[in-house]
Structure 1
Amino acid sequence: MAVHLSFLLIFTGLAGSHSITTVSKVSVKAGEEITIPCLYDSKYINNVKYLCKGYYRFSCSTEIRTDSQSISEKFSISDDKIQKIFTVTIKDVTNKDTDYWCAVEDIGRLDDKKYFQLPATGGTPSVSVDRQEITGFKGGNININCYYRNFGVMKWCKLGRSCVTGSSGSIDGTGVTISESGPGVSTVTMSGLRTESSGWYSCVKEDIQMPVHVTVTDRPTTTTPAMTRSLTTLTTRSLTIVSASAVNHNPVSADQALITVQGEQQSPSHHLKSCGIRLSVIFIVMVTLFIWFIFKRHKQRKVESSATTTAEGEVRYMRNTSGEPEVSCGE
């Protein structure tokens, strides 16, 4: 009896099925596409992975393989050997796209396969999300809306790991809260994201699942042109402060220079206003200098003209007192 049971398990493909983990049942709207993740054991890293279509394990047909060079309009497959997950994407799902297997080729043995069901519906799927790809930043939060039709407890599960079944919990050190946002909508919030938070998750309602891929990256740092100009101005001013300190033999500490620089960090609009004021002051100073220069030149010419007239008068006076005829200069 035991021998017969073992033979039956091998024949039906249940033996070794724990080496592959995937979703069990996903509801999809007809005409749309869906991506299914298949988590495999590390011993299968270098093995060929493929998608098999059909209800029976041994008679299913291979639709696409990771070692195939052919291009399919309906199916695509990719293998992430670091995460040990291969994904299959099925486009334009129909009622005929119901039974599939995540499969790994195992030369010399029976290929390892894991069954999943893909029922298509003309209306609203039993469980759905806004999108299957979500990106977040380290230390930040992300929200995922899980839409459902049936009553029951909504769970948030990580593929091959644990699930959060209550209103709050954690997965891989990342906080998870589940709240009802409205009729038929549960919002999952993942807070304090870490690198380990990346991976495939699922909204789970009874026996229906909807896979969601979460990617956690470093928060980008951007520098705008206004910020660049501000930093350049601040650097120039800090150098001026240090130079002036050296000339006056009055050392300025690094903390004082930092305080001065920080004190001048203002918004771009403030810098534009300050620039306008400075240009106005420079213009007024230039005009004042120009007027002063003209006035000084005019005064200098007037003094020179007066000195010349006085000298000419003295010449005439001296000559008259000597009894000689008066001769004007220039005659």
Structure 2
Amino acid sequence: MKTAKIKVSGHGLFHKSGLTFSLYSCSEPMQSKRGSETGRTLQSNVLHSEAGRVFVSGDSYRKMHIYSLMISLILSVFFLYISESESVKTLKDLAVKSGGSLTIPCFYNGKYKSNPKYWCKGKYWSSCGIVARTNTRGRTLVTDYPTQNMFLVELNSLQESDSGDYWCAVEIGDKWTPDESDYLYLTVSADPAVSVINSRVSGQEEGSISVQCLYRTDYKNKQKQWCRFRDWSCLTSQNSAVQISDDGRGAVSVEMSGLKKSDAGWYWFSAGEVGVTVHLTVTERPTNTTRKSGTTLSGNTMFLWILLAAGLGLLVSVVTYLLRRMFNPAETRERISDTTVHTQSQDSKTYTKVKPNKRKPSSAAAQETDFIYVNVASASKNTTLPGTMQ
């Protein structure tokens, strides 16, 4: 009986997630040796191996070859599908309150920086309809950030009718290669499974922020997580930088302290499998130069206020001094003690004497001079007052 001998060797076809998958390929059949391999030759339809070699009949070889090709083809398609699906990545289940807005980050492989991006709606990828493309305007906006290998889908004024299946997609532009995409489901309702008070928060370097998250009562026993898109890592309990507090009544507080610039970016809060996105902005802390400038400005301001107060004090002193000079009683008595009073009428001038009436002092310590005032009336040229000289 004619037998065939084939060599089977392993070849690595795929390397995915640390696993190597191998297929067996067959070499050309070779004639078996006569006589010297007694006991090592296969009878018809008998199969065994020795020293890495497998001996099969001709019919078995042909069938094995066909099966090998079929398995290779199936595995190639399967792993190609897995590889392509991971070229775009986003969350799988999101919730938002009706009437509100939601921003969805979609991350893609760096080789697609220059490719157009779009947002597609439909349960099946092959039949989904494009809702918005990169840089188009409308209720849905798609904005690409090539430096971050990410594009954002902004959904505004959402209604319950907007709930459904969606796809983040990257256009390849080759009719033989399908576009890259990743699937997610969006739920819009009056009472969403999860939500946040503020979807955009801001903090200062070395400072802290607090995010208030809410969940529906039927999600009370679901696992709560605070996750970061950058490395797809999640926290379910607190650590030195992040404190997660669940009050058990539908509210979770997430506090991040000791903020760094690298903490900025996109996060999500989830209860069970449902999530909602949050964006964190970290601003620079004021430098020492800025603080010194502020201190100098405060010192100059204080100095100006002191000068102003001193000037006002000096002005008040001068005005007070002048008023005292004008209304000093001693000066008034000096003016009254003048012995001559000039009175001028419209027709002529009339002069009179004011004689002091000296009294005897009532005591030796004080003397006072009294004056007798005479009313002077207007007179004509030829009129002479009694006691006056012409």
CA distance in 1, matches of 2:143, 2:280: 17
Give the counterpart letter for 2:147 in structure 1.
Answer: I
Aligned residue type for 2:154: T
Looking at secondary structure, tell me which structure has more strand per residue. Answer: 2
Q: Name the Cα RMSD after superposition.
A: 3.8
Unmatched tracts of structure 1, length 5 or more: 170-174, 241-273, 307-331
TM norm structure 1: 0.65
**Contact in 1 for aligned 2:201/2:280 (Cα 8 Å):** yes
Check conservation: 2:197, 2:212, Cα contact below 8 A.
yes
Aligned partner letter, 2:114? N
Go from structure 1 to structure 2 and tell me whether the alpha carbon gap of 1:197 and 1:160 turns closer, same or farther (over 3 Å shift).
closer
Going from structure 1 to structure 2, the CA distance change for 1:220 and 1:160 (only over 3 Å counts) comes to closer
Report the alpha carbon displacement of residue 234 of structure 1 after superposing the two structures with TM.
4.3
Give the superposition deviation at 1:292: 5.2
Distance in structure 2 (CA, Å) of the matches to 1:233 and 1:201: 45
**CA separation of 1:230 and 1:291: change in aligned 2, threshold 3 A:** farther
Determine the C-alpha separation between the residues in 2 that align with 1:63 and 1:3: 35
Please say if 1:131 is aligned against 2:164: no
Determine the structure 2 residue equivalent to 1:286: 319
Match of 1:22 among 84, 87, 90: 90
AA aligned opposite 1:7: V
5+ residue gaps in structure 2? 1-70, 340-390
The 3-state SS of whatever aligns with 1:7 is: helix
Q: Could you tell me the percent identity over the aligned residues?
A: 33
What SS does the corresponding residue of 2:181 show, helix, strand or coil?
A: strand
Q: One-letter code of the match for 2:196?
A: V
Secondary structure at the aligned position of 1:15 is classed as helix
Offset from partner CA, 1:86-127 (integer Å, 9 cap, x none): 111223233453111111122333221111111233x42111
* Separation of aligned partners in 1, 2:142 and 2:194: 24
TM-score by length of 2: 0.56
CA contact (8 A) 1:95 1:119 kept: no
Q: Distance in 1 between matches of 2:248 and 2:89?
A: 32
Residue aligned with 1:212, SS: strand
- Show CA shifts across 1:123-176 (max 9, x none): 42111111221122222211111111211221110014122221225xxxxx21
Tell me the secondary structure at the aligned position of residue 131 of structure 1.
coil
Q: What is the CA deviation profile of residues 290-317 of structure 1, one whole-angstrom value per residue up to 9, with x for unaligned ones?
A: 535887x959x99xx99xxxxxxxxxxx
Q: How many correspondences in the alignment?
A: 258
Deviation at 1:177, TM superposition (A): 0.9
Aligned to 2:149: 84
Per-residue deviation, 1:220? 7.5
Q: Contact 1:34–1:90 at 8 Å: present in 2 too?
A: yes
Name the residue aligned to 2:77.
7
User: Which is greater in Rg?
Assistant: 2
**Are the equivalent residues in 2 in contact too, given 1:28–1:93 (CA < 8 A)?**
no
**1:237 shift after superposition:** 9.1
- Note the C-alpha offset of 1:9: 5.1
Instruction: Tell me the residue number matched to 1:196.
Output: 262
Structure with the greater relative contact order (CA < 8 A, sep ≥ 6): 1 or 2? 1
Indicate conservation of the 8 Å contact 2:93/2:274, yes or no: yes
Equivalent position amino acid for 1:286 in 2: V
Q: Is 2:118–2:168's contact at 8 Å kept on the other side of the alignment?
A: yes
Q: Distance in 1 between matches of 2:296 and 2:283?
A: 25
| Equivalent residue for 1:42, pick from 110, 120, 123 | 110
Q: Which amino acid aligns with 1:147?
A: L
Matches within 5 A, 1:224-263: 231-234=299-302
Contact 2:206 2:258 in 1 (8 A): yes
Q: Structure 1 127/237 Cα, relative in aligned 2: closer, same or farther at 3 Å? A: closer
Distance 1:4 1:230, change over 3 A: closer
Indicate if the aligned counterparts of 2:135 and 2:142 stay in contact, CA closer than 8 A: no
Is structure 2 residue 229 aligned with structure 1 residue 159? yes
The residue type paired with residue 100 of structure 1 is Y
Distance (Å, rounded) in 2 between the aligned partners of 1:233 and 1:209: 52
Structure 1 segments, 4+ long, off by >6 Å, are 220-223
Which SS does the other structure have where 1:46 is aligned? coil
**2 CA distance for matches of 1:230 and 1:177?**
38
Whether the aligned pair in 2 keeps the contact of 1:142 and 1:189 (CA below 8 Å) is yes
Q: 2: CA distance between counterparts of 1:96 and 1:188?
A: 29
Is residue 55 from structure 1 mapped to residue 123 from structure 2 by the alignment?
yes
Which of the pair is proportionally richer in helix? 1
What is the aligned counterpart of 1:32 among 100, 114, 124? 100
Match of 1:115 among 176, 183, 188: 183
The AA in structure 1 aligned to 2:194 is V
Q: Does 2:280 correspond to 1:209?
A: no
Q: Distance in 1 between matches of 2:215 and 2:138?
A: 32
**Contact 2:97/2:195 (<8 A) preserved:** no
Secondary structure, in 3 states, of the residue corresponding to 1:16? helix
User: Which SS does the other structure have where 2:312 is aligned?
Assistant: helix
For the residue of structure 1 that corresponds to 2:147, the secondary structure is coil
